[in-house]
Amino acid sequence: MSIASASFSFPTQIEFGPAKIKELAAILQTLSVNKPLVVTDKGFAGTPSFDGLKSVLDQSGGSWALYTDVHSNPLESDVRSCYDCYSQNQCDGVIGLGGGSPLDVAKAVRLLIKQPALSLASFDYRDDWSGLVPFVAIPTTAGTGSEVGRSAVITPESTRRKAVMFHPDLLASVAILDPELTLSLPAHLTAATGFDALTHCIESFTSPVLNPLCDGIALEGIRILGDALPRVMKAPTDVEQRGRLQIAAAMGGIAFQKDLGAAHSMAHPLSTLHGMHHGLANALCLPSVMEFNSKRVAGVYRQVALALGRDVVTCDDISADQAAIRGVRELLEAINISLGLAGHGIGEGDIGALSKEALLDPCHQTNPVPVEEEDFVSLYQSAL
Protein backbone atom coordinates (compact mmCIF):
# COMPACT_ATOMS: atom_id res chain seq x y z
CA MET A 1 0.00 0.00 0.00
CA SER A 2 1.49 3.34 -1.06
CA ILE A 3 1.27 6.40 1.17
CA ALA A 4 0.47 9.72 -0.50
CA SER A 5 2.51 12.84 0.13
CA ALA A 6 1.32 16.46 0.29
CA SER A 7 2.32 19.95 1.37
CA PHE A 8 0.12 22.26 3.46
CA SER A 9 0.34 25.26 5.78
CA PHE A 10 -1.88 27.76 7.66
CA PRO A 11 0.12 30.97 8.05
CA THR A 12 -2.43 33.82 7.95
CA GLN A 13 -2.58 36.12 10.98
CA ILE A 14 -6.27 36.60 11.88
CA GLU A 15 -7.61 39.33 14.14
CA PHE A 16 -11.16 38.39 15.16
CA GLY A 17 -13.81 40.14 17.23
CA PRO A 18 -16.30 43.02 17.38
CA ALA A 19 -14.73 46.46 16.80
CA LYS A 20 -11.47 44.90 15.57
CA ILE A 21 -11.57 47.42 12.73
CA LYS A 22 -10.33 50.00 15.25
CA GLU A 23 -6.97 48.21 15.31
CA LEU A 24 -6.39 48.79 11.58
CA ALA A 25 -4.11 51.80 12.00
CA ALA A 26 -1.82 49.90 14.37
CA ILE A 27 -1.75 46.93 11.99
CA LEU A 28 -0.77 49.16 9.06
CA GLN A 29 2.00 50.67 11.15
CA THR A 30 3.32 47.20 11.95
CA LEU A 31 3.36 46.42 8.22
CA SER A 32 5.14 49.73 7.46
CA VAL A 33 2.25 50.88 5.29
CA ASN A 34 1.98 54.67 5.25
CA LYS A 35 -0.46 55.21 2.37
CA PRO A 36 -2.79 52.27 1.68
CA LEU A 37 -5.13 51.86 -1.27
CA VAL A 38 -8.57 50.75 -0.07
CA VAL A 39 -10.21 48.45 -2.63
CA THR A 40 -13.96 48.02 -2.30
CA ASP A 41 -17.12 48.27 -4.41
CA LYS A 42 -19.43 51.23 -4.92
CA GLY A 43 -22.27 49.59 -2.98
CA PHE A 44 -20.24 49.15 0.17
CA ALA A 45 -18.59 52.57 -0.09
CA GLY A 46 -21.90 54.18 0.91
CA THR A 47 -22.53 52.12 4.05
CA PRO A 48 -22.07 52.93 7.75
CA SER A 49 -19.47 50.15 7.94
CA PHE A 50 -17.36 51.93 5.33
CA ASP A 51 -17.73 55.16 7.29
CA GLY A 52 -16.30 53.30 10.29
CA LEU A 53 -13.21 52.27 8.36
CA LYS A 54 -12.85 55.78 6.91
CA SER A 55 -12.98 57.22 10.43
CA VAL A 56 -10.22 54.87 11.61
CA LEU A 57 -7.97 55.78 8.67
CA ASP A 58 -8.65 59.52 8.98
CA GLN A 59 -7.98 59.51 12.73
CA SER A 60 -4.63 57.82 12.16
CA GLY A 61 -3.43 61.04 10.55
CA GLY A 62 -2.08 59.39 7.42
CA SER A 63 -3.27 59.65 3.84
CA TRP A 64 -4.99 56.92 1.86
CA ALA A 65 -6.59 56.35 -1.54
CA LEU A 66 -9.81 54.66 -2.61
CA TYR A 67 -10.73 52.42 -5.53
CA THR A 68 -14.38 51.34 -5.93
CA ASP A 69 -14.82 50.20 -9.54
CA VAL A 70 -15.03 46.46 -8.81
CA HIS A 71 -17.54 44.31 -10.70
CA SER A 72 -19.48 41.63 -8.81
CA ASN A 73 -17.57 39.08 -10.90
CA PRO A 74 -14.23 40.91 -11.22
CA LEU A 75 -12.57 41.44 -14.59
CA GLU A 76 -8.95 41.93 -15.54
CA SER A 77 -9.85 45.53 -16.40
CA ASP A 78 -10.85 46.04 -12.74
CA VAL A 79 -7.39 44.94 -11.67
CA ARG A 80 -5.66 47.13 -14.24
CA SER A 81 -7.59 50.29 -13.33
CA CYS A 82 -6.99 49.47 -9.66
CA TYR A 83 -3.26 49.31 -10.42
CA ASP A 84 -3.47 52.71 -12.13
CA CYS A 85 -5.10 54.15 -9.02
CA TYR A 86 -2.40 52.62 -6.79
CA SER A 87 0.40 54.01 -8.95
CA GLN A 88 -1.09 57.49 -9.42
CA ASN A 89 -1.58 57.88 -5.66
CA GLN A 90 1.87 56.46 -4.83
CA CYS A 91 0.49 53.94 -2.37
CA ASP A 92 2.58 51.38 -0.52
CA GLY A 93 0.04 48.78 0.56
CA VAL A 94 -3.43 47.46 -0.17
CA ILE A 95 -6.57 47.01 1.95
CA GLY A 96 -9.30 44.78 0.54
CA LEU A 97 -12.72 45.62 2.01
CA GLY A 98 -15.97 43.86 1.17
CA GLY A 99 -16.94 40.50 -0.28
CA GLY A 100 -14.88 38.12 -2.37
CA SER A 101 -14.77 40.39 -5.43
CA PRO A 102 -12.92 43.38 -3.92
CA LEU A 103 -10.73 41.05 -1.88
CA ASP A 104 -9.72 39.17 -5.03
CA VAL A 105 -9.01 42.39 -6.93
CA ALA A 106 -6.94 43.60 -3.97
CA LYS A 107 -4.93 40.38 -4.07
CA ALA A 108 -4.46 40.39 -7.84
CA VAL A 109 -3.43 44.04 -8.12
CA ARG A 110 -0.31 43.15 -6.14
CA LEU A 111 0.77 40.96 -9.05
CA LEU A 112 0.62 43.97 -11.38
CA ILE A 113 2.46 46.13 -8.86
CA LYS A 114 5.30 43.60 -9.09
CA GLN A 115 4.94 42.96 -12.85
CA PRO A 116 2.99 45.80 -14.52
CA ALA A 117 3.12 44.19 -17.97
CA LEU A 118 1.63 40.91 -16.75
CA SER A 119 -1.37 39.50 -18.60
CA LEU A 120 -3.48 37.75 -15.97
CA ALA A 121 -4.27 34.97 -18.42
CA SER A 122 -0.56 34.13 -18.49
CA PHE A 123 -0.10 34.11 -14.71
CA ASP A 124 2.29 31.29 -13.77
CA TYR A 125 2.43 30.10 -10.18
CA ARG A 126 5.98 28.85 -10.82
CA ASP A 127 7.26 32.42 -11.20
CA ASP A 128 8.82 34.25 -8.27
CA TRP A 129 6.01 36.17 -6.55
CA SER A 130 7.89 36.98 -3.36
CA GLY A 131 7.94 40.55 -2.14
CA LEU A 132 4.36 41.50 -2.97
CA VAL A 133 3.21 44.67 -1.19
CA PRO A 134 1.44 44.22 2.18
CA PHE A 135 -2.24 43.33 2.02
CA VAL A 136 -4.85 43.59 4.79
CA ALA A 137 -8.08 41.68 4.07
CA ILE A 138 -11.28 42.87 5.76
CA PRO A 139 -14.34 40.81 4.75
CA THR A 140 -17.78 42.34 5.14
CA THR A 141 -19.55 39.13 4.15
CA ALA A 142 -19.23 35.64 5.59
CA GLY A 143 -18.85 33.47 2.53
CA THR A 144 -15.91 33.43 0.16
CA GLY A 145 -13.12 32.96 2.68
CA SER A 146 -10.97 35.01 0.32
CA GLU A 147 -9.43 36.78 3.31
CA VAL A 148 -7.47 33.62 4.16
CA GLY A 149 -7.23 32.12 0.67
CA ARG A 150 -4.14 31.95 -1.50
CA SER A 151 -6.05 32.45 -4.74
CA ALA A 152 -7.80 35.21 -6.66
CA VAL A 153 -10.61 34.53 -9.13
CA ILE A 154 -10.54 37.00 -12.01
CA THR A 155 -11.89 36.89 -15.57
CA PRO A 156 -8.98 37.69 -17.96
CA GLU A 157 -9.69 39.84 -21.02
CA SER A 158 -8.32 37.27 -23.46
CA THR A 159 -10.43 34.30 -22.32
CA ARG A 160 -13.60 35.81 -20.79
CA ARG A 161 -13.59 32.79 -18.51
CA LYS A 162 -13.02 32.83 -14.76
CA ALA A 163 -9.42 31.99 -13.94
CA VAL A 164 -8.05 30.99 -10.55
CA MET A 165 -4.65 32.48 -9.80
CA PHE A 166 -3.14 30.44 -6.99
CA HIS A 167 0.05 31.15 -5.07
CA PRO A 168 0.99 31.23 -1.36
CA ASP A 169 2.35 34.76 -1.71
CA LEU A 170 -1.16 35.99 -2.53
CA LEU A 171 -2.15 35.38 1.10
CA ALA A 172 -3.11 38.42 3.13
CA SER A 173 -0.55 39.80 5.53
CA VAL A 174 -3.35 40.16 8.11
CA ALA A 175 -7.05 39.35 8.01
CA ILE A 176 -9.45 41.35 10.20
CA LEU A 177 -12.71 39.54 10.98
CA ASP A 178 -15.06 42.06 12.59
CA PRO A 179 -18.60 40.63 12.69
CA GLU A 180 -20.08 44.11 13.20
CA LEU A 181 -19.09 44.92 9.62
CA THR A 182 -21.53 42.26 8.37
CA LEU A 183 -24.60 43.63 10.17
CA SER A 184 -25.77 45.69 7.20
CA LEU A 185 -25.60 42.75 4.77
CA PRO A 186 -29.05 42.13 3.21
CA ALA A 187 -30.77 38.85 4.03
CA HIS A 188 -30.47 37.39 0.52
CA LEU A 189 -26.73 38.07 0.46
CA THR A 190 -26.28 36.69 3.97
CA ALA A 191 -27.93 33.48 2.75
CA ALA A 192 -26.02 33.27 -0.54
CA THR A 193 -22.61 34.04 0.92
CA GLY A 194 -23.20 31.66 3.83
CA PHE A 195 -24.07 28.88 1.44
CA ASP A 196 -20.97 29.70 -0.58
CA ALA A 197 -18.95 28.96 2.56
CA LEU A 198 -20.84 25.70 3.07
CA THR A 199 -20.12 24.64 -0.51
CA HIS A 200 -16.42 25.36 0.02
CA CYS A 201 -16.41 23.15 3.11
CA ILE A 202 -18.33 20.27 1.52
CA GLU A 203 -16.45 20.26 -1.77
CA SER A 204 -13.03 20.61 -0.17
CA PHE A 205 -13.78 17.80 2.29
CA THR A 206 -14.84 15.43 -0.49
CA SER A 207 -11.91 16.38 -2.75
CA PRO A 208 -9.54 13.39 -3.02
CA VAL A 209 -6.48 15.60 -2.46
CA LEU A 210 -4.64 14.65 0.72
CA ASN A 211 -4.82 17.31 3.42
CA PRO A 212 -6.11 15.94 6.74
CA LEU A 213 -5.86 19.33 8.44
CA CYS A 214 -8.20 20.82 5.86
CA ASP A 215 -10.57 17.88 6.26
CA GLY A 216 -10.99 18.55 9.97
CA ILE A 217 -11.40 22.29 9.40
CA ALA A 218 -13.99 21.69 6.66
CA LEU A 219 -16.11 19.40 8.82
CA GLU A 220 -16.14 21.88 11.70
CA GLY A 221 -17.03 24.64 9.23
CA ILE A 222 -20.01 22.56 8.05
CA ARG A 223 -21.15 22.05 11.63
CA ILE A 224 -20.95 25.76 12.46
CA LEU A 225 -22.68 26.87 9.26
CA GLY A 226 -25.50 24.35 9.62
CA ASP A 227 -26.25 25.79 13.04
CA ALA A 228 -25.39 29.49 12.74
CA LEU A 229 -26.75 30.36 9.29
CA PRO A 230 -30.43 29.76 10.11
CA ARG A 231 -29.94 31.59 13.41
CA VAL A 232 -28.59 34.68 11.64
CA MET A 233 -31.43 34.62 9.13
CA LYS A 234 -33.89 34.72 12.04
CA ALA A 235 -31.92 37.28 14.08
CA PRO A 236 -29.83 39.42 11.69
CA THR A 237 -28.36 41.61 14.45
CA ASP A 238 -26.96 38.70 16.48
CA VAL A 239 -23.28 39.64 16.45
CA GLU A 240 -22.21 36.41 18.14
CA GLN A 241 -23.78 34.25 15.43
CA ARG A 242 -22.48 36.52 12.67
CA GLY A 243 -19.05 36.06 14.18
CA ARG A 244 -19.49 32.30 13.97
CA LEU A 245 -20.38 32.67 10.29
CA GLN A 246 -17.23 34.68 9.70
CA ILE A 247 -15.10 32.05 11.39
CA ALA A 248 -16.76 29.27 9.37
CA ALA A 249 -16.29 31.19 6.13
CA ALA A 250 -12.60 31.57 6.91
CA MET A 251 -12.45 27.85 7.64
CA GLY A 252 -13.94 27.17 4.21
CA GLY A 253 -11.35 29.47 2.65
CA ILE A 254 -8.56 27.60 4.40
CA ALA A 255 -10.01 24.19 3.54
CA PHE A 256 -10.32 24.73 -0.17
CA GLN A 257 -6.60 24.96 -0.66
CA LYS A 258 -7.36 21.25 -1.21
CA ASP A 259 -9.39 22.44 -4.20
CA LEU A 260 -13.10 22.11 -4.90
CA GLY A 261 -15.46 20.14 -7.12
CA ALA A 262 -18.06 20.06 -9.86
CA ALA A 263 -20.52 22.46 -8.19
CA HIS A 264 -17.96 25.24 -8.51
CA SER A 265 -17.28 24.33 -12.14
CA MET A 266 -21.03 24.69 -12.75
CA ALA A 267 -21.30 27.91 -10.75
CA HIS A 268 -18.47 29.81 -12.43
CA PRO A 269 -20.05 29.99 -15.92
CA LEU A 270 -23.41 30.88 -14.38
CA SER A 271 -21.63 33.98 -13.09
CA THR A 272 -19.57 34.83 -16.17
CA LEU A 273 -22.27 34.09 -18.76
CA HIS A 274 -25.39 35.12 -16.82
CA GLY A 275 -24.18 37.41 -14.02
CA MET A 276 -25.48 35.17 -11.23
CA HIS A 277 -24.12 35.74 -7.72
CA HIS A 278 -21.49 33.09 -7.08
CA GLY A 279 -22.89 31.95 -3.74
CA LEU A 280 -26.39 31.62 -5.17
CA ALA A 281 -25.01 29.68 -8.15
CA ASN A 282 -23.31 27.24 -5.79
CA ALA A 283 -26.52 26.84 -3.81
CA LEU A 284 -28.53 26.01 -6.93
CA CYS A 285 -25.96 23.49 -8.19
CA LEU A 286 -24.70 21.68 -5.09
CA PRO A 287 -27.65 19.31 -4.43
CA SER A 288 -27.53 17.97 -8.00
CA VAL A 289 -23.77 17.44 -7.76
CA MET A 290 -24.16 15.66 -4.43
CA GLU A 291 -26.75 13.31 -5.96
CA PHE A 292 -24.41 12.66 -8.91
CA ASN A 293 -21.38 11.93 -6.71
CA SER A 294 -23.24 9.77 -4.19
CA LYS A 295 -24.48 7.43 -6.92
CA ARG A 296 -20.88 6.72 -7.88
CA VAL A 297 -19.07 6.78 -4.52
CA ALA A 298 -21.39 5.48 -1.82
CA GLY A 299 -20.70 7.01 1.57
CA VAL A 300 -18.87 10.06 0.25
CA TYR A 301 -21.12 12.36 2.33
CA ARG A 302 -21.42 10.29 5.54
CA GLN A 303 -19.26 12.65 7.60
CA VAL A 304 -20.98 15.66 6.04
CA ALA A 305 -24.26 14.26 7.34
CA LEU A 306 -22.76 13.86 10.81
CA ALA A 307 -21.45 17.43 10.71
CA LEU A 308 -24.97 18.61 9.83
CA GLY A 309 -26.27 16.84 12.94
CA ARG A 310 -27.78 13.80 11.22
CA ASP A 311 -27.76 10.47 13.05
CA VAL A 312 -26.20 8.22 10.41
CA VAL A 313 -23.85 6.16 12.58
CA THR A 314 -25.78 2.94 11.98
CA CYS A 315 -27.01 3.78 8.46
CA ASP A 316 -25.70 2.17 5.30
CA ASP A 317 -23.69 4.39 2.99
CA ILE A 318 -26.55 5.15 0.61
CA SER A 319 -28.83 6.24 3.44
CA ALA A 320 -26.05 8.35 4.97
CA ASP A 321 -25.49 10.18 1.69
CA GLN A 322 -29.20 10.83 1.30
CA ALA A 323 -29.34 12.21 4.84
CA ALA A 324 -26.59 14.67 3.95
CA ILE A 325 -28.38 15.75 0.78
CA ARG A 326 -31.64 16.20 2.71
CA GLY A 327 -29.75 18.26 5.26
CA VAL A 328 -28.45 20.56 2.54
CA ARG A 329 -31.88 20.92 0.95
CA GLU A 330 -33.51 21.64 4.31
CA LEU A 331 -30.86 24.25 5.08
CA LEU A 332 -31.58 25.95 1.76
CA GLU A 333 -35.26 26.03 2.65
CA ALA A 334 -34.48 27.44 6.10
CA ILE A 335 -32.50 30.33 4.61
CA ASN A 336 -35.11 31.04 1.91
CA ILE A 337 -33.19 29.91 -1.17
CA SER A 338 -35.49 28.10 -3.62
CA LEU A 339 -33.87 25.54 -5.87
CA GLY A 340 -34.28 25.72 -9.64
CA LEU A 341 -32.09 27.48 -12.18
CA ALA A 342 -35.19 28.14 -14.29
CA GLY A 343 -36.41 30.54 -11.63
CA HIS A 344 -33.32 32.63 -12.30
CA GLY A 345 -33.67 32.85 -16.05
CA ILE A 346 -31.68 29.77 -17.07
CA GLY A 347 -33.31 27.58 -19.73
CA GLU A 348 -32.61 24.44 -21.76
CA GLY A 349 -31.11 26.58 -24.50
CA ASP A 350 -28.38 27.78 -22.13
CA ILE A 351 -27.18 24.35 -21.05
CA GLY A 352 -24.90 23.61 -24.01
CA ALA A 353 -22.75 26.72 -23.56
CA LEU A 354 -22.75 26.37 -19.77
CA SER A 355 -21.61 22.74 -19.99
CA LYS A 356 -18.74 23.55 -22.33
CA GLU A 357 -17.53 26.29 -20.00
CA ALA A 358 -17.94 24.07 -16.93
CA LEU A 359 -15.76 21.40 -18.51
CA LEU A 360 -13.00 23.98 -19.07
CA ASP A 361 -13.15 25.09 -15.44
CA PRO A 362 -10.43 23.35 -13.37
CA CYS A 363 -12.42 22.84 -10.14
CA HIS A 364 -14.09 19.61 -11.28
CA GLN A 365 -10.65 18.00 -11.65
CA THR A 366 -10.76 17.40 -7.89
CA ASN A 367 -14.37 16.24 -7.80
CA PRO A 368 -14.71 12.85 -6.05
CA VAL A 369 -15.51 11.29 -9.46
CA PRO A 370 -14.61 12.36 -13.02
CA VAL A 371 -17.08 14.62 -14.82
CA GLU A 372 -17.40 14.83 -18.61
CA GLU A 373 -19.28 17.35 -20.73
CA GLU A 374 -22.33 15.10 -21.06
CA ASP A 375 -22.38 14.81 -17.25
CA PHE A 376 -22.49 18.59 -16.94
CA VAL A 377 -25.40 18.65 -19.39
CA SER A 378 -27.29 16.21 -17.16
CA LEU A 379 -26.32 18.10 -14.02
CA TYR A 380 -27.57 21.44 -15.35
CA GLN A 381 -30.78 19.75 -16.50
CA SER A 382 -31.35 18.26 -13.07
CA ALA A 383 -30.70 21.68 -11.50
CA LEU A 384 -33.27 23.44 -13.71
Question: Domain boundary residue among 167, 182, 197?
Answer: 182
Q: What is the pLDDT of residue 115?
A: 93
Q: What is the pLDDT of residue 125?
A: 86
Contact 152, 94 (CB under 8 A): no
Contact 185, 277 (CB under 8 A): no
Q: What is the pLDDT of residue 60?
A: 82
Q: Is the pLDDT of residue 4 over 90?
A: no
The beta strands (E) that lie in 162-295 are given as 163-166, 174-177
Does residue 49 sit within a domain?
A: yes
Q: What is the pLDDT of residue 116?
A: 93
Range of the domain at 371: 187-383
Q: Is the domain of 97 the same as that of 227?
A: no
Q: What is the pLDDT of residue 3?
A: 59
Q: Is the pLDDT of residue 32 over 80?
A: yes
Does residue 4 sit within a domain?
A: no
Name which residue leads in pLDDT, 278 or 47: 278
Q: Is the pLDDT of residue 170 over 70?
A: yes
Contact 59, 21 (CB under 8 A): no
Does residue 7 sit within a domain?
A: no
Q: What is the pLDDT of residue 162?
A: 77
Q: Is the pLDDT of residue 8 over 70?
A: no
Distance in angstroms (rounded) separating the CA atoms of residues 335 and 330:
9
Q: How many domains, in total, are found in the chain? A: 2
Q: Is the domain of 236 the same as that of 255?
A: yes
Chain segment 204-214, per-residue pLDDT in tens:
999 999 999 99
Q: Is the domain of 113 the same as that of 245?
A: no
Q: Is the pLDDT of residue 1 over 80?
A: no
Distance in angstroms (rounded) separating the CA atoms of residues 194 and 187:
10
Q: What is the pLDDT of residue 263?
A: 98
Q: Is the domain of 172 the same as that of 268?
A: no
Q: Is the domain of 255 the same as that of 346?
A: yes
Q: Is the domain of 178 the same as that of 203?
A: no
Distance in angstroms (rounded) separating the CA atoms of residues 279 and 44:
18
Chain segment 99-122, per-residue pLDDT in tens:
889 999 999 999 999 999 988 888
Distance in angstroms (rounded) separating the CA atoms of residues 262 and 371:
7
Does residue 278 sit within a domain?
A: yes
Q: Is the domain of 162 the same as that of 191?
A: no
Name which residue leads in pLDDT, 157 or 284: 284
Does residue 8 sit within a domain?
A: no
Chain segment 259-269, per-residue pLDDT in tens:
899 999 999 99
Phi and psi at residue 49, in whole multiples of 5°? -65, -40
Q: What is the pLDDT of residue 9?
A: 59
Question: Domain boundary residue among 138, 163, 182?
Answer: 182
Mean of pLDDT values over 157-171:
84
Mean of pLDDT values over 351-363:
96
pLDDT band with cut points at 50, 70 and 90 for residue 362:
very high
CATH code at position 64: 3.40.50.1970
Q: Is the domain of 177 the same as that of 207?
A: no
Q: Is the domain of 175 the same as that of 282?
A: no
Does residue 143 sit within a domain?
A: yes
Q: What is the pLDDT of residue 108?
A: 95
CATH code at position 370: 1.20.1090.10
Mean of pLDDT values over 43-49:
82
Q: Is the pLDDT of residue 130 over 70?
A: yes
Does residue 2 sit within a domain?
A: no
Q: Is the domain of 174 the same as that of 209?
A: no
Q: What is the pLDDT of residue 36?
A: 96
Q: Is the pLDDT of residue 6 over 60?
A: no
Q: Is the domain of 287 the same as that of 358?
A: yes
Amino acid code (one letter) for 133: V
pLDDT band with cut points at 50, 70 and 90 for residue 165:
confident
Does residue 204 sit within a domain?
A: yes
pLDDT band with cut points at 50, 70 and 90 for residue 203:
very high
Percent of the chain clearing pLDDT 70 (strictly above): 97
Q: Is the domain of 195 the same as that of 158?
A: no
Name which residue leads in pLDDT, 74 or 292: 292
Question: Domain boundary residue among 182, 214, 229?
Answer: 182
Distance in angstroms (rounded) separating the CA atoms of residues 94 and 28:
10
